[in-house]
Chains A and B, each alone.
Chain A
Amino acid sequence: MSKLVSIQNLSFAYPEEPDQALRDINLTINSGDFLMIAGNTGSGKTTLLNHLKKELTPLGTHHGHVLINNTPITNLTKLQSAQTIGYVAQDPQTQPVMSTVIDELAFPLENIGCPSDEIERRITELTNFLGLDQMINRAISELSGGQLQLVNLASVLILRPKLILLDEPTSQLDPLTAQNFLTVLSRIRQELGITIVLTEHRLSTIAGLANRMILLQHQTISFDGTPRDGIKEMIKDDQLAYFVPSIPKLFLTNRLTESKLPISVADGQAAIQNAHLKFTKARQSATSTTDNSPAMLTVKNISFTFDRTKNVIDHLNLTVQQHDWLAIIGKNGSGKSTLLSLLAGLRTPQHGKVYLNKQIVWQIKVADRIRQLSFLSQTPTLQFTADSVRHELTTQANELNLSDAPTRIANVIQQCHLKSILNQNPFDISGGQQQLLGLAIALLAKPDLLILDEATKGLDPYTKVVIGRLLKQYQQAGTTIIMASHDMEFCAQFADHCAFMFDGHVNTLLPTKSFFANNFFFTTPINRIVRDQVADALLVDDITPISEGR
């Protein structure tokens, strides 16, 4: 394989930042590599990725060289850069500029002055290759998150680049959609030989597809090798151990000897069969204690439509007991967010009622409602109102008329790790930090009911666990939690009850263990590989090996 990218002694610091964001990076990427960049939040993954694309190189102090095909990246013309390196961003909504799929695909080719017949040929080829041919005339605004991210990828791929960079491309997608997207990426690499470099927190699928992984720790590369070996390195670090997918974690933490560390479900099942491994339940299932509690929220036969042609919520009934933690699971576009906004009283259904402590939720005065109920949306920036993180918290404390405001503010700052960004503008901090700020604002009220829409979106696995434990503390102190999530393992670890959102209503509302144990697709990887032995095992800690090998 020939050398495509060469990074030599690269160091970088953002303006007015005393610490370096990247330190002494040396890396060679070969043509055809599928390289995964792993590391903690703030380890410099995105900064490194952006250094591989001239137009996205951040402002600051640079040392060292980045060469593409032996040409310094700064010497590439705009045209060469567009035709050599493609970039797909984290948020699918930020890239599209045209109104229909076909116009979005034509946009980059028109930019480089491609003749009309050549554009048509490339669109025909690519849409058939990616299965987008049936949606070329659809409006961009009508596409789901997964479809949109695929269009974004296609709009980059159509320039036939040698290298595609992706910054956490699946972080906003549900697990099945994310898996489909990553499978397409793998096909692109295998069938077209295009080099792929991506950053990703969700290692479970990627580790099986990538041929190479680098690990960024303390702003420099601490490991460069195969994903399997990288995972073995990560488990040694206190924080990075949380990033390790559950199947390899099961084998590594229990020291189950395997020459080739299993990563995928199929590998895991094969390893268990080959080594005749037996597992037993490691801990008692946590039984829900909320079943006899009085109802906190009662939903009676609500229906809601945006355009009066189709009910997004259709005659939905739901009761959530006090101190419960209910996770609502469903695909992108299934109506979860709409339901949560109805439960929070932010929208009014056309039919039915939602009662919070026996009061109709949308009739409670807004000032009173925010003291009883907190809501964190999928887009926390739209809930921000001030010009600094500190000001956001003080503003909300004032609106809540908190008697112990300074103490409460200090608590949430510490709980949500906001100390280092207190003076920054909320719109300038990273997506994960925005999520944490949104959560801190929601927790200030110590609400009776906390409604969270994709609360773990954009968070790294370590921060997720920290937040999960924090929410558990609030729940134990009396808060009821309703959460919509794509994150199966987070739901399995922390929720008391889970339910599906499908076809406008909530179904299969069951205690978490029973819910996942009876699911086939929407369940955890551990459940998939050991369900024959321990039916309700969901997480690594749920099982313990009783025999090791033949």
Chain B
Amino acid sequence: MKRVPLQMTFFSQVHPVASTIYFAELMTCLLLFNHVGVALTEVIGLTICGFYYLGKKSMIGQLKFAASFLIMILFFNTLLNQKFHPILWQFHWGFLTYKFSYAAFLYGLAMALILIAMLFVFALLNQILTPSRLIYVFSPIAPRLAMLVSISFTLVANFILRFKKLLILQRTRNLDTTSGSLMTRIKKILHLFEIMLQDSLSSAMETANLMDARGFGAAKRSHYRSYHWQVSDWIFIGLSSLLLLNMIIIRLLKFGWSRSVTNFTVAFRFADSLPIVFLLIFFLLPILSEGVYRACQN
């Protein structure tokens, strides 16, 4: 099935303030629960949204990155949480002992899933809240800061592209980051950052001058894009806020949350079903709204 272009979706047509509130609620939700089953639901919900809004290619790339990220966090969590039980496997090296416990594993897994979900939220936010929408939302509070944050989005993207090019071109100076010991490689990468900083500073100075030349800071900034708050925005944000309120109550009732690593004994508890259901509805709210939006079209 052919994917609907992003700008034609309901989610990207929601008022920027409404989508900002929704993303703030999403991030709050991610901090409410820490059980594995709940965290997994969050990742699944966001993956479905990601496939719908960002496309297959982008999501597959993100999932690959997430997998390596997950392994790394799992490793460090099990390494740093050595005093828990049951121990599934242990390894001795001299006077050092590495204990791989089930509780540390589950805790690490939950933490990794929550972090991955957070990354997915940012990837989605980046596409839905475009720089011009971000400026619109934050300009009334801090106009210059909003503008600079928005510009930094573009600059960071350019920085990444330029750094990739630098990595390639510095091989002509025998600076190859793919060879040598770990220490040598780290030194080389630090040197590359130094070069990149010098290069970026000189071009950033020129860009800043050219911004000045086009009147940046000359008067109070206006906005080209004007957005109108619609009834659908009220409904969307009303529903999402109601769902968030429910989840806060669920969290206060201590569902889906454990205070200590010791309590991480099972991957799924029946009591987690309640937050899972609400979370799924909340995370899939944009897609559910798409359906309603299409149904209401002439």
Contacts and interface: CB of A to CB of B under 8 A. Distances in A.
Q: Do A and B come from one complex?
A: yes
Interface of A: 53, 55-56, 77-79, 81-83, 85-87, 89, 91, 93-100, 102-103, 106-116, 119-120, 123, 140-141, 155-156, 159, 341, 344, 346-347, 366-367, 370, 374-375, 377, 379, 381-385, 395-396, 399, 425, 427-428, 441-442
Nearest to A105: B224
Given A94-B203, A346-B169, A366-B176, A110 B224 contact: yes
B210 A94 contact: yes
Interface in B149-177: 150-151, 153-155, 157-158, 161-162, 165-166, 168-176
Category for how many chain B residues contact A: 35 or more
A79 B172 contact: no
A78 B222 contact: no
Contacts of A155: 214
A115 B172 contact: no
A217 B209 CA distance: 28
Nearest to A376: B172
Contacts of A96: 154
A108 B225 CA distance: 14
Given A119-B224, A347-B168, A382-B165, A113 B173 contact: no
Nearest to A103: B132
Given A95-B210, A97-B154, A120-B224, A399 B174 contact: yes
Q: Give the interface centre of A98, A156, A425 by most chain B CB atoms within 10 Å.
A: A98
A346 B153 contact: no
A111 B172 contact: no
A366 B154 CA distance: 33
Contact of B217 (A83, A111, A344): A111
B228 to A, nearest CB: 12
Contact of A55 (B165, B199, B212): B212
A370 B158 CA distance: 28
B223 to A, nearest CB: 6
Contact of B170 (A53, A113, A374, A382): A382
B154 A99 contact: yes
Contacts of B218: 77-79, 81-82, 111-112
Interface string B206-228: 11011111111111111111100
Given A97-B211, A382-B199, A140 B217 contact: no
B246 interface: no
Interface of B: 130-132, 150-151, 153-155, 157-158, 161-162, 165-166, 168-176, 179, 191, 195, 198-199, 201-203, 206-207, 209-226
Contacts of B168: 341, 346-347
A91 B175 CA distance: 27
Contacts of B151: 97-98
Given A78-B217, A119-B224, A99 B203 contact: no
Closest CB pairs A-B (n = 10): A82-B215, A106-B224, A78-B218, A111-B215, A399-B174, A108-B214, A113-B219, A79-B218, A55-B212, A119-B224
25 contacts: A56-B209, A56-B213, A78-B212, A78-B215, A78-B218, A79-B219, A81-B215, A86-B213, A87-B210, A94-B210, A98-B132, A98-B150, A99-B130, A99-B153, A111-B215, A111-B218, A113-B220, A346-B171, A366-B174, A366-B179, A370-B171, A381-B202, A384-B199, A427-B201, A428-B202
Contacts of A375: 169, 172
A476 B169 CA distance: 27
A113 B130 contact: no
B224 A383 contact: no
A367 B212 contact: no
Nearest to B212: A55
A341 B165 CA distance: 11
A170 to B, nearest CB: 18
A141 B157 contact: yes
Contacts of B211: 97
B174 A110 contact: no
Contacts of B158: 141
Contacts of A113: 219-222
B210 A89 contact: yes
Contact of B175 (A99, A110, A385): A385
Contacts of B214: 82, 86, 107-108, 111, 155-156, 159
Contacts of A99: 130-131, 153-154, 157
A97 B212 CA distance: 12
Nearest to A95: B210
Contact of B213 (A55, A427, A428): A55
A53 B131 contact: no
Nearest to A116: B226
A111 B216 contact: yes
B131 A381 contact: no
B213 A53 contact: yes
A110 B198 contact: no
